[in-house]
Every structure is written in structure tokens, then in C-alpha cells.
Amino acid sequence: MSDPGTPAFRKPPARPPFHREPLQGEARLDRARAVEELKRFLDLAVREMHLAVEYEITSPGEGGQGPGEPEIVVAFRGADQDLLLERNAELLLALEHIAHRWLRLDPRLHDQVRFDCGDYRATRLEELKLSARVAAQRVRETGQPFQFNPMSSRERRIIHLELTGAAGVRTVSEGSGDRRQLVIYPVKK
């Protein structure tokens, strides 16, 4: 029995997820509904976190801008954008993760909604590709494996793809959960 002065906890009303399942079983993003719900989420998050940032939501088109490109991009700018980018964009990526949960996206659709700030994504992509090439060269020269620090599956995939077909090396993801890391091994001749 609850105290009359204590507010009762209520379960929020159920909302449908922001994806639909076509006949083929491949999830697709309901962009119009997702954009509207993202606006609600971001207005609340920015206000409650007292962030001095503005955001712009763009929807480049059906299927994104190309293979692997998102259908919805949220770009932040403003006085607190450095805060979003501290510690390898930890806050930016956390907001993106919470937005995925808020939208109740099927995990297959997480790459279709992407947050960015100050071209962080493009810069990080180039950093990862360069790191992959430098590490691969080191492995070829020394014959010793190279182990990256733990990183997200998205970042590991970028390195795997960058080194696909690279002579003298192979890549493997090892570990589990958020401790999963990519290792580059020399290929025995």
C-alpha cells in the first residue's frame, strides 16, 4: 500500500516501434515517425541536460546516401559541442544510443540513425583507416600481432573492411562485450 503523499508509479502507455517488418523479414525504418519522435527526444534531452547546442535532423533519402550510410542524421553545433566530443565523443555516442532505445529500433536499424558533431564521424573514419594501415604495416615488418584497444562493432568493422585483401595480414575480433577488440595477425607464408 502506498503513502497518499507519495506519487504512484505508472507504466507509460505502449508506443509502437519506429520500424516496420516487410514480408521479406528485413526491418525498415519509418523515417517520418522516427524524425518526429527524435525531435521530441532531443528537445527534452538538450533542455534537461542544459546543453548549449542546436541540432539539425536531415533525412538524405530512402536507404541513406549509399551502402552503410544512415537514413537519418542528427548534427549538433553550438557552444557545448566540445562537451559532446570529449573522451572520443562519449556523450554524443551515449545520446545516440539512448535515442535508439527511445525509438525502440530493431538492432539491425541502429546504423540508420546517426548522430554527428563537428564532422566527428568523418574525422574518426579517416583516423581508423589510417591506424589500420599503419598497424598492418607494423605487423608485416615485425611479424608480431597488433592489438587495438576495445572499440565498438562499427569501428571494428571499419578496420576489418579497410584491411580486407591487404597482403600479409588478417584481422580477428577477440573478447566479448564492450571489451571486444580487433587484432591484426601476420599471415604465415
SS (H, E, C) 29-70: ECHHHHHHHHHHHHHHHHHHCCCCCEEEEECCCCCCCCCCCC
Contact yes or no for 148/135 (Cβ under 8 A): yes
Domain map of the chain by residue range?
19-118, 123-186
Residue 78: its pLDDT value, please? 96
Contact yes or no for 70/4 (Cβ under 8 A): no
Bridge partners of residue 58, in order along the sequence? 73
| Fold observed for domain 123-186 | Ribosomal Protein S8; Chain: A, domain 1 (3.30.1370)
CA atoms within 13 A on the CB side of 149: 3
Sign (positive or negative) of CA dihedral 40, 53, 100, 91: negative
Q: Is the pLDDT of residue 60 over 80?
A: no
Q: What is the mean pLDDT of the chain?
A: 86
0.85 cut: is pTM over it? no
pLDDT grade for 66, boundaries at 50, 70 and 90 = low
pLDDT grade for 10, boundaries at 50, 70 and 90 = low
pLDDT grade for 21, boundaries at 50, 70 and 90 = very low
Query: Under 8 Å CB-to-CB from 22, ≥6 apart: which residues?
Result: 28
Q: Is the pLDDT of residue 144 over 80?
A: yes
| Fold observed for domain 19-118 | GMP Synthetase; Chain A, domain 3 (3.30.300)
User: Whole-angstrom Cα distance, residue 103 to residue 38?
Assistant: 8
Asked whether this chain's domains 19-118 and 123-186 adopt the same fold, the reply is no
